[in-house]
Amino acid sequence: MAQIIDGKAVSAAVKDEVAAEAARLREERGLKIGLAVVIVGNDQASRVYVNNKKKACEAVGFQSYEYAMDEDTTQEQLLDLVNVLNRDDRVNGILVQLPLPGHIDEKAIINAISPEKDVDAFHPENVGRIMIGEYSFLPCTPAGVMRLIASTGVDITGKQCVVIGRSNIVGKPMAMLLLQKNGTVTICHSRTQNLKELCLTADILVVAIGRAKFIDGSYIKEGAVVIDVGMDRDENGKLCGDVDFESAEKKAGYITPVPGGVGPMTIAMLMQNTLTAAKQQAGIE
Ligand code: GUN
């Protein structure tokens, strides 16, 4: 039976570290840290995420600035706001919640965010920095996954790592981070022909495909570290991951549950990125 990786506990530890460092910087340097969160339109899921991000800011001692804009906001208006936030010294990090309404070009907005304040690490400059290993920020989900793997004590060096999924936000940066830690990395995707065979070679398996319970125990090598990035609904409408937990945990050495695995990590890593941004802008480290 696998050991369960407790994402809530690791996330709480990251937030505690961030809160302690933020408090020290406030006391010793008078540094105040601020995150601007921009939401456009009425997407209910986005509203929940934004509220959670604001709550996390409060918990670690950051100021959050919310900008809620109407669904019919123009691209120009949103670009104007991003430019104002780029210049606002109270704001160390800028997060524009995605998805944006269809009439707004997400790429144009992401490209307009100052790379120094891009705490999502979605700007091409920050994406490029990950490729060459000279980054300040990592996208929150892959950063959270790396932290969860670290919590197991398993050394990535020399291990077979299989990432299923090739999105810009998860799969591609995930593969780069595992490579930087000296893993031997294979990226699989919807067109991969011998998926099961490749998965069975994985000492570390990261699954981000968006299909409920797609990866069952028959894909998992005995003792593997299995990280499930999925957030799906099963046949009864219950929240589940891309991995069939019940059969997978019989084979895995370590496994993340859904909920309570990768999910709680993303906001913690956002807080960490905001702290890093504030320190860099203040010339600390
Ligand atoms: N929408 C869903 N996940 C994310 C995220 O990590 N960042 C932003 N900006 N929007 C999202």
Q: What is the pLDDT of residues 152-180, one digit of tens each?
A: 999 999 999 999 999 999 999 999 999 99
Q: What is the pLDDT of residue 179?
A: 98
Q: Which fold has domain 30-114?
A: Rossmann fold (3.40.50)
Q: What is the pLDDT of residue 285?
A: 75
Domains 30-114 and 140-263 share a fold: yes
Hey, whose CA ends up nearest to atom 4 of ligand 1? 98
Hey, whose CA ends up nearest to atom 8 of ligand 1? 97
Model pLDDT for residues 180-223, shown as the tens digit of each residue: 999 999 999 999 999 999 999 999 999 999 999 999 999 999 99
The catalytic position among 15, 53, 159, 251 is 53
120 included as an active-site residue: yes
Task: State the distance from the centre of ligand 1 to the C-alpha of 86, rounded, in angstroms.
Answer: 19
Model pLDDT for residues 3-29, shown as the tens digit of each residue: 999 999 999 999 999 999 999 999 999
Hey, whose CA ends up nearest to atom 11 of ligand 1? 98
Ligand 1 is surrounded, with C-beta below 6 A, by 95-98, 120, 140
CATH 3.10.180.10 for domain 140-263: no
Pocket-testing residue among 37, 46, 49, ligand 1, by greatest number of atoms within 8 A of Cβ: 49
The catalytic position among 118, 120, 203, 228 is 120
Model pLDDT for residues 108-120, shown as the tens digit of each residue: 999 999 999 999 9
Task: State the distance from the centre of ligand 1 to the C-alpha of 56, rounded, in angstroms.
Answer: 15
In order, the DSSP letters of 5-36 are P-HHHHHHHHHHHHHHHHHHHHHHH----EEE
pLDDT higher than threshold 90 for residue 248: yes
Atom of ligand 1 nearest to the CA of 99: 1
User: Where do the domains of the chain lie?
Assistant: 30-114, 140-263
Its pTM surpasses 0.75: yes
Pocket-testing residue among 67, 95, 96, ligand 1, by greatest number of atoms within 8 A of Cβ: 95
